A and B are shown apart, each in its own frame.
Chain A
């Protein structure tokens, strides 16, 4: 007699609660009424904007952040204008200045922290902002050199941010990237994203999204790095090297070819860089690297770590400048190999010396020491800076050999 009643009661309860819950009333989100932030650029606020703080999160500025004001430039997708397929609409190239047809809306605000700035941003736009489609964050070098602690903290905490977002350092004003409109892609952020991702696929850049940056940053035996980018001309974006960090602060940057050297040190495939070589009897020769391999060995010598780095490169000859000299024998290829090896060795040593001087172990020699010489690590490394000090004084022997086996379709 009792059971049916309780069953009915339960059914009624379930019914009522499911009406409320299953429809998703609370979390219903219309895609058109959300401000999808695709990209952000973070700069130091210029003096002229020091007083434009919108005060949406505080009345009086706490003294510790009084002089620290960042300017956030966000690229917000305009619903309905983001082209879905290739070449719909007839805007064509060079529509950068034509704001009416831009699929994105660029908003600029200032704030003392990232979230403060985002709140100020929200104060200015109608739709609720969301970071679920955030793909690119560009910080200016000045901000990167001051430290990215607060920015990373916010991004780590926010469940909307993906670990596959890219964090980039720009050597010019970061906000400029939000307005760059290359003709190939109408959404600037997506062009930049495509550029970074394709260069990763081509072996021009290591896969180093923000998740990887955080992981490297957390490791005691490794320092983190980020892509370093710049603008050339009006609308061209250049990957200009690796911005390397220590203690969440940028302390230096490499040249573009040194990205290739770094990837060779790490043995990252596919290989995508070419080397221009002066091989004495053959003249100027270009080789293109096809595959990289490397082996890092660490030893403890006299209570100090020492490393041996062996790099092997598979390259092929792609261009020779002088017509009269022939590449017609294995010996001449050996000459190219020798030259390539010595150049790579020189550049690797050069890069490592600079990294050691700056105490930034972006290769992660410390991780090898931690992994293979754990008792040494246990006794000597008590915080991350201990390894940075040891790294700066560590002898690193570089051995490079390379093979050039193919010469293309021309037979001399």
Chain B
């Protein structure tokens, strides 16, 4: 292999850090609203369902990655389903993750300009965020894993403290009944969660570089569980504090939660500033993952030495993507659409690979025995 892709150096803990900080991202700000719309007070249960689904959806990816521990997804997919289908899938994935990157950049820029920097043009925020992402995503996968491992505590610890601080206004009644009164859109709610969790596809890039690829399944399970616990905590806290009906009217329920939180022990009356910083970090770690997936796949398809140039030259493309949505509703509708389409890819593609590898192995096994 070439020098920029050393194999077998990422520890299971780093793998988990990558997956967790990739999953915890932009959606944190808005998803409780979708959960409340899906099943009012049953929001936490819908979230749990989504987490379980996400956990299951990562199984084929982990298993097929485990079967080809030393090869990246482009190589083993080429072996399994042939060159052209692989290219088709990979290019769709690349396109999708570039679109997701652009969408996230836009959502972040919009939120920042609404909440903290009203006069700064959102485009400037977007360019800054993108440049930062591109600069970090230029590194090889080992450094990429360091970045994630470094930022993870800065995301989880303050996030949890802020959430705990908000619980003093919680009302247990708001969480009842657990199943919700009108659980109309349970499946679409669970799909929303899966959509937010699909950045865990980054696992496919990490497995070939793990020191113990056999632990991939274990890692994916624990990272989804950990990130899921945070999501579950957020949706439970906001449902308990605001009540489901109130949440339906909010654009950023988690921000409102942070604004109503106060940590009296430390004398901090307002912690929304800290929350915004933490949230920008979570967005950043998600962004470098989505961008990295695209870069990595392109790099492997064209067998590039490294993807540094690519990281720079894709910035304008992603930036233009981020400019496409014309208004608030278009932005969120198109993001939801992309995430549903993405789900078919990030779940369906590994599943296809796994089934075919399973069949092939079966056939080969029969040949050797028979």
Contacts and interface: CB of A to CB of B under 8 A. Distances in A.
A215 B117 CA distance: 27
Contacts of A368: 173
A36 to B, nearest CB: 15
A14 B309 contact: no
A20 B174 CA distance: 46
Contact of A163 (B177, B248, B260): B260
B318 to A, nearest CB: 14
Most A CB contacts (10 A, CB to CB) among B41, B119, B134, B173 go to: B173
B161 interface: no
Chain B contact residues, majority secondary structure = helix
Interface in A191-205: none
Interface string B117-156: 1111100110110010011000000000000000000000
A117 to B, nearest CB: 21
B118 A27 contact: yes
A184 interface: no
A214 B124 contact: no
Contacts of A212: 169
Contact of B245 (A20, A26, A220): A220
A289 to B, nearest CB: 23
A281 B157 CA distance: 62
Contacts of A218: 243, 245-246, 248-249
A18 B128 contact: yes
B312 A10 contact: yes
B114 A159 contact: yes
Nearest to B255: A159
B11 interface: no
B115 A17 contact: no
Contacts of B309: 2-3, 6
A81 interface: no
Nearest to A153: B249
A166 to B, nearest CB: 14
A120 B182 CA distance: 44
Interface stretch (A53-61, A267-275, A370-378): A370-378
Most A CB contacts (10 A, CB to CB) among B124, B243, B259, B260 go to: B243
Contacts of B135: 10, 14
Contacts of B291: none
Given A26-B119, A215-B242, A219-B245, A17 B127 contact: yes
A220 B259 CA distance: 24
Given A21-B120, A27-B120, A13 B131 contact: yes
A13 B134 CA distance: 12
A309 B182 CA distance: 28
A21 B114 CA distance: 16
Contact of A27 (B41, B117, B169, B181): B117
B115 A159 contact: yes
B188 interface: no
Nearest to B270: A162
Contacts of A220: 245
A256 interface: no
B256 interface: yes
A288 to B, nearest CB: 26
B312 to A, nearest CB: 5
B179 interface: yes
Interface string B164-200: 0000010001101101011000000000000000000
Contacts of B120: 21, 24, 26-27
Given A215-B242, A218-B249, A162 B259 contact: yes
B173 A20 contact: no
Interface string A371-395: 1101001100000000000000000
Contact of A215 (B115, B134, B177, B243): B243
Contact of B260 (A2, A21, A159, A164): A164
B177 A14 contact: no
A367 interface: yes
A339 interface: no
Contacts of B243: 215, 218-219
Nearest to A161: B259
B215 interface: no
A156 B252 CA distance: 11
Contact of A20 (B118, B124, B179): B124
Interface of B: 41, 114-121, 124-125, 127-128, 131, 134-135, 169, 173-174, 176-177, 179, 181-182, 242-243, 245-246, 248-249, 256, 259-260, 308-309, 312
Interface of A: 2-3, 6, 9-10, 13-14, 17-18, 20-21, 24, 26-27, 156, 159, 162-164, 211-212, 214-215, 218-220, 364, 367-368, 370-372, 374, 377-378
17 contacts: A2-B309, A3-B308, A6-B309, A6-B312, A13-B131, A18-B128, A26-B117, A26-B119, A27-B118, A159-B114, A162-B259, A214-B246, A218-B248, A219-B246, A370-B176, A371-B177, A374-B176
9 nearest A-B pairs in the assembled complex, by CB-CB distance: A371-B176, A374-B177, A218-B246, A218-B245, A26-B120, A26-B119, A215-B246, A27-B117, A371-B173
